[in-house]
Structure 1
């Protein structure tokens, strides 16, 4: 069996080979450029005004790291040992050249952005200062000091030789290093055809200008010296259009032609002293290279800023377009909702109108009873629709906060059986509830809402057969399943059914009231509770919905939530109820119902009228039932608080609102009031009243209610 670690030696050896190969390549380039530069020396064989190796060494350390110094040291030692001096002076000069490159690269990495030093004007300026003031004097000082110590240079020539050496190194660093670093940087590799042609154009222009102004091919005349100023044109073109890379390249092209022309005796810098001529060339190159690099870096920064602004603008436009589309979709959904809700709510309203018309005609007792039952069924249908809208509104507003508890699932199964037993019997369906002794962890009320919606859907769409509700254990989860023998759900509709206001087209026999929100509520509640929902369905055979709920060990019975009191557990006979509603029809409806329950009712339309009526009657109400929204922008909360202040005590209160927004619910919750949403089921109202009386009176008024 092979050792899994065996590739490591191969990798290490390849790295060593790559490192050695890189050193050899750098050393060879350095040696060739060094011999070429030394060939132009005049003041001393080792002090030349043209010294490209400084730029090669500095770029190599910036790009390949400090470990490249051995290649620089060896190549510099060979170049100087084979030119003049001794082995000792060659070693000293090589040491100075190596320190020059390493120190310069270290300071550039630390203060000037490393290989990115040409991307900003301030970093270009720092690069120039490091090269001119700190790095290049190291090589000139060490090299010439060693030559002076060993007697290879006369003291009277030391200063001239040092200036020549220093300026040669400065020019090599400022002209050669930027070209190598910028072309080697990965971000400069790729450019399109248009950019390539423009680069070729600017380099060709630079070569043409250099040949016209500096080459020996054109006869030197007094008026030709001014042509040297043309060098600024390709540099400006490159700086303004092509960036630092092409600017440095143009400077190199001009430098090469200028040095060649001056060496051959052509151009404006030719003097009887060749060394002085080259020093003039160096000053010219430094004066055009550094400002051009500064300008190109500044333009590059501005281009990046403009590009960033353009991208930000495009991103903003994209977000605005997306938001506009969302608003358009929201408006379309709102229009669709209004159309569908209007249609679906008009159906039971239309039916109620017909039933009321029947009640106004002479009817037999059994016909009258049956019509009243139909009115009540239609009212319940409308109530279900409004409750669905309220649930969606609460979910959208984030007003539902799960209260996780541990409870037996048997209690929920029993409620489902009680809720749908009569409905399934009336449709001729079989309802089977498989018992389970499992305990689960969830929000009891929200999980009940999920199951009621699922079973309600099953009853609504199933025409024959039955509905089965059962549980299966799956590890630490309980899988609560609802099976039906309805029409099934086509494959292409299984995601759509969880959308708002969506209903699968059904036959006339299976059409039923509803807004198509039941499964949307189920989906959102499952997401809120982190319960997974699963669907399987076969067209014409039925569907199966399953909810996965975490299970827990069987809890203590005393820890289970207590059931709400039965509607007859507490009496309301003789209770003084204050009804506040600005609509007379609400006063009459609520007051009439409460009077039938044996309550003493006082109704008013505003907080001011209420205080007047209470002062006239001089009786403290046992309960306040108020609309949330009253006339003139006032609220029922304000009216309740004024009444409490008048009597100096807290009176139980119920708020009623048709507003499904989050604000009324939040306001009521913050002040400890119960908020019921219209239409309010009479039995729900009576149960809440019983609960308030029980909590407030401590059960003293408890009694049977017929």
Structure 2
């Protein structure tokens, strides 16, 4: 977290705002490359800017919220001249990440995501709970301004909500861990990391583009990455899988051949959501167990050192040998 004093410096604060706004806009352009039509609206299966916004607020503090509004406005403006509904959309896109960070702080969330409770907080508080704000305001203003028929509210709301939630589940952990990852990694892990990357590049496209629906093949890959490389490996695999699955879904090929728009959206979001949950929570559990084991091992080493020190300092002096004329007395006390 950046200290509040640093954020008050005009130069540093302005640079941070511009950087966050630029990242938000760039992520929005990437998200808009793949779209699906639901009812009378066009939505994105994954909205990466939401993940960027939550990560920025966690790292830089809540003071950078104007950059999120500016980035969202730039993204809306790139699609055409905004109308009155832009106010509700901007409010929702800004308020949802802010609410997510406030909820995470309330839950004492750690950006390292080294505990199961951190993973659960990110899933249920930041992704599922807070993102209802952006979906409600965004779809609500579309209905109020006549751009969406009232009967299509819930279908579009669900697609909007899941898209924002997926941005938090996939992009936010990746950015938080990218900031803390040591580079280059230990040389001893390169062979296995290379093998994992090669297997992922072979299995993930096969799972996404196979017409016999082999999406389940990615789960052993996610488990391998989580067991050996924890959150960094599993989230990289999840990000690759989600991107390729989204491309296949928007092109209606592979596992999504022959499905209508609603079925494509439902299948894609169910797969992306379950895959991201598996990667995030499994990695958090493994990381927590490994940290607990290291703590126990460290405590054992410290205990051994303390016992060795006490033993060395409290050893009693050797007893003198008995005199030659002395002999042990019998229990009865006789001469």
Q: Normalized against structure 1, the TM-score is what?
A: 0.41
Aligned residue number for residue 23 of structure 1: 17
1:438 corresponds to which residue?
A: none
2:208 corresponds to which residue? Answer: 214
2:235 is equivalent to residue 264 of structure 1: no
Equivalents in 1 of 2:45, 2:81: separation in Å? 18
Matches within 5 A, 1:601-612: none
Tell me how far 1:291 sits from its aligned partner. 2.7
5 Å matches for 1:90-169?
A: 90-116=86-112, 118-169=113-164
Contact 1:77 1:93 in 2 (8 A): no
Structure 1 position 120, deviation (Å): 1.6
CA distance in 2, matches of 1:13, 1:141: 31
> Could you tell me how far apart the structure 2 residues matched to 1:159 and 1:106 are?
27
Partner of 1:281: 268
2:182 corresponds to which residue? Answer: 189
Q: Is 1:315 aligned with 2:302? A: yes
Partner-residue secondary structure (3-state), 1:115: coil
Verify the 8 A CA contact 1:31 1:75 in the aligned structure 2: yes
1:171 alignment partner, SS class? helix
Which of 288, 291, 297 is equivalent to 1:301?
288
What's the CA shift string for 1:522-544, capped at 9, x where partnerless?
xxxxxxxxxxxxxxxxxxxxxxx
CA RMSD of aligned residues (A): 2.8
CA contact (8 A) 1:104 1:135 kept: yes
Aligned mates of 2:165, 2:250 — CA distance in 1: 19
Query: Does the residue aligned with 1:176 lie in a helix, a strand or coil?
Result: helix
| Deviation for aligned residue 1:236 | 0.6
Offset at residue 114 of structure 1 (A):
4.3
User: 1:280-429 maps to which residues of 2 (within 5 A)?
Assistant: 280-326=267-313, 334=317
Alignment check: 8 A CA contact 2:34 2:246 kept:
no
- C-alpha displacement of 1:57: 1.0
1:13–1:96 CA distance, 2 compared to 1 (3 A): closer
Give the match's secondary structure for 1:268: helix
Q: Which has the larger radius of gyration?
A: 1
2:170 to 172, 175, 179: 175
Shift of the 29–273 alpha-carbon distance from structure 1 to 2, 3 Å rule, reads farther
Question: Which residue pairs with 1:62 in the alignment?
Answer: 58
Contact 2:196–2:225 at 8 Å: present in 1 too? yes
Instruction: Show the counterpart of 2:82.
Output: 86
**Cα contact 1:45–1:83 (8 A) shared by 2:** no
Question: Cα offset for 1:104?
Answer: 0.6
Aligned-pair CA distance for 1:35 = 2.5
Report the Cα distance in structure 2 between the residues aligned to 1:310 and 1:243, rounded to whole angstroms.
Answer: 20
Structure 1 position 214, deviation (Å): 1.0
Comparing both structures, which one devotes a greater share of its residues to strand? 1
* Inter-CA distance 312–97: structure 2 relative to 1 (3 Å threshold): same
Q: How far apart in 2 are the matches of 1:145 and 1:94? A: 12
- Choose from 44, 52, 67 the match for 1:48: 44
Alpha carbons of 1:275 and 1:112: their partners in 2 closer, same or farther (altered >3 Å)? farther
In the aligned structure 2, how far is the partner of 1:275 from the partner of 1:54? 23
Secondary structure of residue in 2 paired with 1:40: coil
Distance 1:153 1:179, change over 3 A: same
Summarize the alignment of residues 236-635 of structure 1 with structure 2, pairs less than 5 Å apart.
236-274=223-261, 276-326=263-313, 334=317
Encode CA deviations 1:484-532: one digit per residue, 9 max, x unaligned. xxxxxxxxxxxxxxxxxxxxxxxxxxxxxxxxxxxxxxxxxxxxxxxxx
Question: Which whole-Å CA distance do the structure 1 matches of 2:6 and 2:58 have between them?
Answer: 23
Larger helix share, 1 or 2? 2
Query: Displacement, 1:154?
Result: 2.2
How many residue pairs match? The answer is 315
SS of the counterpart of 1:140? helix
Whole-Å Cα distance in 2 between the matches of residues 18 and 272 of structure 1?
50
Q: TM-score, normalised by structure 2?
A: 0.83
Rate the CA distance shift 1:270–1:305 in 2: closer, same or farther, 3 A: same
Whether the 8 Å CA contact 1:171–1:286 is kept in 2: the answer is: yes
TM-aligned CA deviation for residue 79 of structure 1: 1.2
> Is it true that 1:33 corresponds to 2:33 in the alignment?
no
**Structure 2 CA distance for partners of 1:303 and 1:114, relative to 1, 3 Å:** closer
Q: Is the 8 A contact 1:38 1:45 kept in 2?
A: no
Shift in Å at residue 323 of structure 1?
4.3
The DSSP-based 3-state class of the residue aligned with 2:148 is: coil
Larger relative contact order (C-alpha < 8 A, sep ≥ 6)?
A: 2
